[in-house]
Amino acid sequence: MVLLRESSFLLTSPPSWEVVSNPFVIVVSVCTILTMIATLPVAQLFFFHILLVEKGISTYDYIIALTEQEQSNKELVVNITH
């Protein structure tokens, strides 16, 4: 059994901002930062699909509609220039 005095929990000196040289902490920090960055496109894709569900269309329907719109825009440009 270990008995601790209450004063052992008090800081004797203020915390310092030293450079961390522990490889484990560095690897975990880098992985955490990369995970946070990779989460952004996944979140955007998630909310895009929520929008599609609210509109009642599938991803395939959206892509087909987008392709048809691009083709009609190209036809308009060709007709205007000729």
Q: What is the per-residue pLDDT across 62-82, written as a single tens digit (0 to 9) for each?
A: 999 999 999 988 877 777 776
- When pLDDT is averaged across residues 15-31 and rounded to a whole number, the result is 80
The dihedral through the CA atoms of 41, 43, 47, 53 has a sign that is positive
| Per-domain boundaries in the chain | 25-81
Predicted pLDDT at 13: 64
Predicted pLDDT at 17: 64
pTM of the model: 0.56
Nearest C-alpha neighbor of 61 from the set 69, 71, 76, 32? 69
Q: What is the per-residue pLDDT across 24-40, written as a single tens digit (0 to 9) for each?
A: 988 999 999 999 999 99
